[in-house]
A and B are shown apart, each in its own frame.
Chain A
Amino acid sequence: MRISQKVTRKLITLALIVILSAIFAATAPSFLKLRNVQEILRVAAYTGIICVGVSFVLIGGGIDLSSGGIICFTGIIACRLAMLGLPWPVILLAAVVVGAACGFFNGWLITHFYLNDFITTLATGFVFSGFGLLVIAKEPNGTVMSQTITNRGFLVLGKHVGGFYYIVIAWILLTLVAWFIQTRTRYGLHTCATGSNAKSSEMSGVNVKRMKISTFTICGACCAIGAVFTVAYQQTAYLSLGSGMGFDAVAACVVGGVMLGGGKGDAVGAFLGAVFMTLVTNGMRKYGLDTSWQYVFEGAVILIAIMSDAGFAVFSARRLRALSEKNANEEALLEARAKGGGAQ
């Protein structure tokens, strides 16, 4: 059975990752060290968990730029709760609830008022980081107080076991669950349908509005999970937590094949996208090269990814046309036969 386009797209990203790691491993001594692999996975996990949430929104035909704000808000809440000495499950649950609420607010605002996803989530991102400032611990004279978390029950989340940070394990689990939901459950099918052709999905009885709101809610929850693990690792929360993550997560998803426009790609693609982007950044640092080249390279990689994907689409469109040309020459044959019959 021919491998479907989705799998091919993921194979390309996987191939790039393998090639890139091979090159880095060959030329940079410290690349293959256990600690470096751990580090790559940990950083990729932080972006990856947000990418899982964003992939739901992208597949559903929307876009979410407020993940930075949600991370800041839920991260600070987690930090405040951790200072109170609560165990990590309670904190994680509280953060996820708040994150989901922020996501729901996004989805409700967009579907209820027919607003444009891009601008609305950009604006709500600012609003959520404003909430973050509201809840952060402050000195009596109003300036922000910086706190170091010492609550053992919470800091365990930042540790690693058998070489894998808990955030990495959570990331892999989340990706598998998300992939299962997106490809195996009815909800996933309906999300993909809504993203690909909202009108006909609605005609077939899919509640498009509820779909859109739920994708944003899931995205909010994932941002909260990512924030909690990061705060646990850094043992503190600060105002600029998660800044710029909104765009990086979308870029990683696009590189992983979850394209804007809806219906394409899935969580595993986003996983590979996150790994690839982190790999590029990490690898480039190995050469003591002026880090500005790392930004140049990152920009170039994103451009190549979208162009190759567009090329991919154009190529498959050309393949389609070739198919119909093949039918055309059959036509001459049929034309002759039809003329023979003719009408009375």
Chain B
Amino acid sequence: MKNRNLFANVWAQRALILAVLLIIMLIGNRSFFSLGNLRTILMSIAIYGTMCCGMLLCMLTGGIDLAMGSTAAFTSVVCLWYYNGHGMTDGAFVVGLILAIVCAVAVGILHGICDAYLMLPSFVVTLATSKLLYGLASALLKGSFIHLTNTEGFFYKIANTKLFGAIPMPIVIFLAAALIVGLILALTVFGRRVYAVGANRAAAELVGIKSRSFRVGCYVICSLSACLGGIVLTSMNYITSATTAQGYEMMIMLALVVGGADIMGGYGDIAGAVFGALLAGIVENMIVMLNINTNYSKAVQGVIIVLAVAFNVYNNRKSAGLIAPRRKRAEAAPKKEA
């Protein structure tokens, strides 16, 4: 039943969108096509791209996490607070990192339990924890912020060194995260189970997957990726506060949806997530390049997202045979004749 129609295949659709954008830039502003600009785009999406990979696992199993921004802020504040308080040695950084990871895991477990075991609306729960974490982070810093100043320490080197002299580390971390999550989804049993739980939780239970504790695991990975994003962002800016990475969770969810993921779970892959993040970065960059007022970037992304969601729904419904070709829809024969 392979449909030969050129645009039915998801990758054809994505290639089409990219082609349109590149043509606009050809006319608009040639300097878009420089290597430097590519690096700028990648740098601008490196942080929330990394977090996209964590959130993908959570969304695939039907979860939502609105607290990623605040988790990133809180965990990075905890790490830097400990780091500065204990002599800014690499050892202090490791302990700080462990503290941050423990906090991220705790947040992930809270979200997981509220969603999987207590059946609470994860949308409101994560909204509440994001306020909670913002408050805790700014309470820890008494409302102001904290500097990363030791430029020799490993903490600083995370974001400020270049791999093979050219590629900044945040981009490397983003691509590495994408690769790891991609491998997990493609090659490991855990990946197969993510798709199984996302597709049908009851069936997954009957195949031996404890889908509830599995979903808690996915929330923990999601929060850990937020922690990683927060640490790299802090290292990049040498500064962090309660308002770090504010609003990232919106960009992440929208990038995933543009990449073909579905809020209800079961659909989406790592290539889509990377494409979604890349597209967001390209649009952002284009808007600056074409001298459009940067406040429009959100509106343009809004339009693209609505189109992407419409595409996704169309693809998923078509492959599920809900949108039958005109002819057959007239007399839909019942599947099961009792």
Question: A: which residues have CB within 8 A of B?
Answer: 63, 109, 113-116, 118-120, 122-127, 129-131, 133, 142, 239, 247, 250-251, 254, 259-261, 290-300, 302-303, 306-307, 310
**A residues less than 8 Å from B127 (CB atoms):** 247, 250-251, 302
Q: How far is the CA of A119 from the CA of B254 in the complex (A)?
A: 8
Inter-chain contact B309/A306, CB cutoff 8 Å: no
Contact check: which of B125, B262, B298, B299 meets A306 at CB < 8 Å?
B125
How far is A68 from B265 in the complex, measured between Cα atoms in Å?
A: 27
Which 6 pairs between the two chains have the least Cβ-Cβ distance? A130-B299, A299-B132, A295-B135, A296-B135, A126-B302, A292-B138
Give the residue name and chain of the A residue nearest to B118 (CB): A310
Interface size classification for chain B: 35 or more
Which chain A residues lie closer than 8 Å to B118 at the CB level?
Answer: 307, 310
- Would you list 14 pairs from A and B whose C-beta atoms are within 8 A, ordered by A residue? A122-B254, A123-B303, A123-B309, A126-B302, A130-B300, A247-B66, A259-B121, A260-B121, A291-B143, A292-B139, A295-B138, A298-B135, A299-B132, A302-B131
Which residues from chain B contact A131 at a C-beta distance below 8 Å?
Answer: 299
Excluding A115-B306, A118-B64, A306-B124, 12 further A-B contacts by CB distance (< 8 Å) are A113-B313, A116-B264, A123-B301, A126-B298, A126-B301, A127-B306, A131-B299, A292-B136, A292-B143, A295-B135, A302-B127, A303-B132
* B106 interface contact, C-beta 8 A: no
Least distance between B44 CB and chain A CB atoms (Å)? 18
Contact status A295-B299, CB under 8 Å: no
Which residues of the other chain, B, contact A116 by a CB distance below 8 angstroms? 262-264, 309, 313
Asked whether B120 is an interface residue with its Cβ less than 8 Å from the other chain, the reply is yes
- Note all chain A residues with C-beta closer than 8 A to B120: 306-307, 310
**Contact between chains at A303 and B129 (CB < 8 Å):** yes
Tell me the bound Cα distance from A300 to B142 in angstroms.
19
Given that A123-B309, A261-B121, A310-B120 are contacting pairs, would A293 and B139 also be in contact in the complex, using a CB cutoff of 8 Å? yes
Chain A residues within an 8 Å CB radius of B301: 123, 126
Closest to B301 in A: A126
A298 to B303, CA, bound (A): 33
Residues A115 and B310 in contact, CB atoms below 8 Å apart: yes
Chain B contacts with A in 283-302, Cβ cutoff 8 A: 293, 295-296, 298-302
A335 CB to nearest chain B CB (Å): 31
Per-position binary interface string of chain B over residues 193-220, scored 1 when its CB falls under 8 Å from any chain A CB and 0 otherwise: 0000000000000000000000000000
Closest partner residue, chain B, to A130 (CB atom):
B299
Mask: chain B, 256-293; 1 = CB below 8 Å from A; 0 = not: 01000011100000000000000000000000000001
Interface: B78 (CB within 8 A): no
Q: Kindly state whether residue B250 has any CB partner on chain A within 8 Å.
A: yes
Assess the B128–A303 pair: CB atoms within 8 A: yes
Residues of B within 8 A of A133 (CB): 293, 295-296, 299
Known contacts: A119-B257, A127-B303, A130-B299. The answer to whether A260 contacts B124 by CB under 8 A is yes
B119 within 8 A of A: yes
CA–CA, A116 to B132, complex, Å?
A: 28
Please classify the interface of chain B as helix (H, G, I), strand (E, B), loop, or mixed, using the class held by over half of its residues. helix
CB distance from B144 to the nearest CB of A (A): 11
Closest to A291 in B: B143
Q: Is the CB of B306 within 8 A of A124?
A: yes
Give the total number of A-B pairs whose CB atoms are below 8 A apart: 139
Q: Which of A114, A290, A298 contacts B143 (CB 8 A)?
A: A290
Bound complex: CA of A109 vs CA of B124, how far in Å?
A: 24
Identity of the chain B residue whose Cβ is nearest the Cβ of A309 in the assembled complex: B120
- For the complex, is B130 an interface residue (Cβ under 8 Å from A)? yes
| Closest-CB distance, B283 to chain A (whole angstroms) | 12
The chain B residue sitting closest to A302, CB to CB, is B128
Which residues of chain A are near B295, meaning CB under 8 Å?
129-130, 133, 239
Instruction: Give the complex CA separation of A259 and B121 in angstroms.
Output: 9
With contacts A116-B264, A239-B295, A295-B138 taken as known, whether A124 is within 8 angstroms of B125 at the C-beta atoms is no
Identify which of A63, A113, A125, A299 contacts B135 (C-beta below 8 A). A299
Residues of B with C-beta under 8 A to A299: 128-135
B121, B128, B143, B313 — most chain A CB neighbours (10 Å):
B128
Contacts known (A292-B242, A293-B139, A296-B132); A114 close to B119, Cβ less than 8 A: no
Q: For the complex, is B317 an interface residue (Cβ under 8 Å from A)?
A: yes
Q: Tell whether, in the assembled complex, residue A119 and residue B138 are in contact, meaning their CB atoms are under 8 Å apart.
A: no
Residue of B with least CB distance to A66: B302
Chain B residues positioned under 8 Å from A123 (CB to CB):
254, 301-303, 305-306, 309
Judge whether A114 and B317 touch: CB under 8 Å. yes
Q: Roughly how many angstroms separate A124 CA and B306 CA in the complex, as a whole number?
A: 8
Cα–Cα distance between A41 and B298 once the two chains are bound (Å): 33
- B135: min CB distance to chain A, Å: 3
Identify which of B124, B135, B262 contacts A251 (C-beta below 8 A): B124
Q: Which residues of B contact A129 (CB under 8 A)?
A: 295, 298-299
Known contacts A251-B128, A260-B121, A260-B124; is-contact A113 B310 (Cβ 8 Å): yes
A298 in contact with B310 (CB, 8 Å): no
In angstroms, Cα B254 to Cα A120, docked, is 10
- Residues in chain B near residue A119, CB distance under 8 A: 253-254, 257, 263, 305, 309
The answer on a CB contact under 8 Å between A122 and B138 is no
How far does the alpha carbon of A291 sit from the alpha carbon of B134 in the complex, in Å?
Answer: 11
Say yes or no: is B190 at the interface (Cβ < 8 Å to chain A). no
Shortest beta-carbon distance from B32 to chain A in Å? 21
Q: How far is the CA of A114 from the CA of B315 in the complex (A)?
A: 12
Query: Is B33's CB within 8 Å of the partner chain A?
Result: no
B123 within 8 A of A: yes
* Closest B residue to A126 using CB positions: B302
Instruction: Given A116-B309, A119-B263, check contact A130 B125 (CB 8 Å).
Output: no
**How far is it, in angstroms, between the C-alpha of A127 and the C-alpha of B143 when the chains are bound?**
33
Nearest CB in chain B to that of A248: its residue: B127
Complex Cα–Cα for A127 and B135 (A): 30
Contacts of A260 in B (CB 8 A): 121, 123-124
B254 x A298 contact (CB < 8 A): no
A116 to B317, CA, bound (A): 13
Across the interface, do A297 and B135 meet the contact criterion of CB distance under 8 Å? yes
B321 to chain A, nearest CB (A): 15
